[in-house]
Structure 1
């Protein structure tokens, strides 16, 4: 169990060192693009299932990027 916690700590320290403002902007920007632009394009093509999936993925990218950025900055 101690080895797992050790590796989890090492993994978290790597994430903290790699997740900068630029990566946050890239993640959030990808989410916004996927949600608005891809969702709109798929709506015009009348691909309802793909539109819903694109909007869901975009929202997850955007909210996940914000959440991870907050966690990295607070921890």
Structure 2
């Protein structure tokens, strides 16, 4: 299985959404530096990379872009 970079989670909440989305759609994924915040509090906000199987990359990219579009549509305007 060859893994390919998908995205970088900006915070714990986004990481949770991405995990749930991948699991619900049967997409295997790895999270690099997921537990860095245990060693260095606050660092996860900057560096948790999400990797998916190369064969699932296109589908995962589509799902992530839909997730981010929905978040923008729901976010309160300033």
What is the TM-score normalised by the length of structure 2? Answer: 0.28
| Greater Rg by CA | 1
What is the TM-score normalised by the length of structure 1? Answer: 0.29
Report which of the two has the higher share of helix.
1
Report which of the two has the higher share of strand.
2
